[in-house]
Amino acid sequence: MAESTRPLPPLVPLSHGGWEVNSFLSSPAYTIRGLGLMPSNTIVPVIVVPGMMGSNLRAKLLPRLGRIRDERNELAKPGEPVWRPPNGVQESIQSVLDWRKLLPESRQKLFSAASLEVDGTGPVSLPDADDGYVLTQAEVRQRGWGEVHADSYGRLLYALQMRLNQTFRYDERNRRRLVNPHWKAVMACDPRRWGVREFAPLTEAHLVKHAAHYYPVYCVGYNWLEDCGASSKRLEQRILEILAFWTRAKRRCDKVVLVTHSMGGLVARACAKRIPDKIAGIIHGVMPALGAPAAYRRIACGTETSNPSNGAIDDVCAHGLAKILGDSPEQTTPVLATSPGVLEMLPNHLYPQPWLHVRVMQGGGATALSGGGAQGNGIGSRAAASDYLRLPGGKVSNPYDLYRDMSTWYRLVNPALADPMGKYRKDPRGVQHAIESAIGIAEDFHRSLGDYYHPNTYVFYGDDRDKLSYSQVRWIARHAPGSATALTAANIATARFLGHSPDGQRRVLVGGKTELHFRPEPQDAHGDGTVPHQSGAGPAGKVKQLFAARGVDHQNAYKHEDIIMLTLRLVVKIVQETP
């Protein structure tokens, strides 16, 4: 009868082409053998690129020479964590208590993009090795797992590392090869759970080819306040370093597979546009391909605290998240308005227009007072073309003009809220110049990226009526019958801004006589709770396949078992299609 075995840590590559594993000497009476799994010498690194706010950030350790003043964080010491999303209920409660006390001035000081860098020392969660696969903290930290939010990505990372590299097991009694249970589950999965009616079945022959490779799993975080273009250069550098590492170890390692979440999809697309030959394929998850109106809502009004599709517990969580991210424009504007990366989440020039509307409820009915139609000017409704509100300068089909407009009451950014610490007070150009510059960077990124996708790309997105998202933002107000002021598109457009409430409602004066209170309506469209289906499905016709998934929450997309199985299936498919 064969002796029992215990799993050893994954083998470490040696520069001469061999492998090394650490074990311990034991007495002859100890008959359990150490089992080390010999990887293939053909390497396909799998790199997870997180979403916005999914990367841990810290105050820069070493500012560039001559830029110490600009790159020194105002509140945090060098190397001190600035952004680490909470893990678990207890941490979340404490984070809410801490962040709700943070003043807008302090938020601006902490979240200065130039003073921050990716923090690789974040927590890493490794489950007990009851599945026979051992990973060490040292190994996964070298692969960047500490750069990302453990609660959002830990399950995915471990599943990819374990399941991709354990395809078959050997039945010693019957002397035959067996497919491991986690792959049997993928083979048996109904494609409708992935949002498609049919998908090419996974066969044992596919798995044989898959098992001829070794798949080390990496993470590459980025400073999500910065331009996605700059973040894509960090990703490119890490890809080249990873390929070089395995090549120096005398392994064949030519290309990587990218698995992206949300904003990470934009980062990866920009990177792939420069080095497509270094990438075997990309799996994009819940990517705001065309942007998301939720970004406008959060900058203009603060983070939403509810959703019509939420249950009571979900709304409690939403209230807590809003306290951390900022539930009022006073809290969100100082950070988001000058951060190109955040502004790149806004609806871009390819997003279906019109998506911003103004309505007034009169005597129990709704009157639309703005529009965009075919002329597409960023503000819209079902009103006649003659009632359309025009953007500053009269330009059409350019949402960036809307973002640059800081004078109308429906503006994205109120510059009076953007600089509570007085950072730009001594600059004669003021904070408005910094905002316009950040918007310009975002526009340049969007137009440069266009509708490019790597040739071997697969996309899944949320298309769920129980995960409502903003496909449009509608400002709505009530108008008392018998008012002396006749409401028209023209006088609504030129109404004077009077102020706003803590929850983002805006008070305006129409015609110098009538005061209206505009509030944003709730989420309105199928999606994942953040990205609407229109944007998630934006890559249609430009990628290999789209999966319109149900039951997928934006932030927790990769914690869903169906999505993990889909990701595994797509990695196999990409490898089959790679020469």
Q: What is the pLDDT of residues 293-345, one digit of tens each?
A: 999 999 999 999 999 999 999 889 988 999 999 999 999 999 999 999 999 99
Q: pLDDT at position 380, please? A: 43
Is there a single domain that holds both residue 222 and residue 310? no
Confidence grade of residue 127 (pLDDT, cut at 50, 70, 90): confident
> Per the structure, how many domains does the chain have?
2
Residue 376 confidence (pLDDT): 34
Q: Are residues 236 and 267 in the same domain?
A: yes
pLDDT at 387 over 70: no
Residue-number span of the structural domain to which 443 is assigned: 291-455+461-527
Q: Do 413 and 519 lie in a common domain?
A: yes
**pLDDT tens-digit profile of 394-421?**
334 689 999 999 999 999 999 999 999 9
327 shares its domain with 400: yes
- List the strands of the sheet with 57-59, edge to edge: 81-83, 57-59, 116-118
Cα separation, 148 vs 221, whole angstroms:
6
Per the domain annotation, does 86 fall within a domain? no
Contact partners, residue 479, CB within 8 Å, separation at least 6: 360, 361, 362, 487, 514, 516
Give yes or no: residues 213 and 300 share one domain.
Answer: no
- The answer to whether residues 78 and 40 touch, using CB atoms and an 8 Å cutoff, is no
Average pLDDT over residues 500-517: 90
pLDDT value at position 381?
38
How crowded is residue 71: how many other Cβ atoms within 10 Å of its Cβ? 18
Residue 427 pLDDT > 90, yes or no?
A: no
pLDDT exceeds 70 at position 180: yes
Q: What pLDDT was estimated at residue 385? A: 30
Q: What is the pLDDT of residue 174?
A: 72
pLDDT digits (tens, 9 = 90+) for 230-274: 999 999 999 999 999 999 999 999 999 999 999 999 999 999 999
95 assigned to some structural domain: no
Q: Give the global pTM.
A: 0.90
Residues 6+ apart with CB under 8 A from 538: 289, 290, 350, 451
Q: Are residues 465 and 495 in the same domain?
A: yes
Indicate whether 233 belongs to any domain. yes
Q: What is the mean pLDDT of the chain?
A: 87
More confident residue, 173 or 84: 84
Residue 77 belongs to some domain of the structure = no
How much is the pLDDT for 133? Answer: 59
Is 69 a residue whose pLDDT tops 50? yes
Length of the chain, please? Answer: 579
Q: Are residues 388 and 498 in the same domain?
A: yes
Q: What is the pLDDT of residue 378?
A: 37
Average pLDDT over residues 125-138: 71
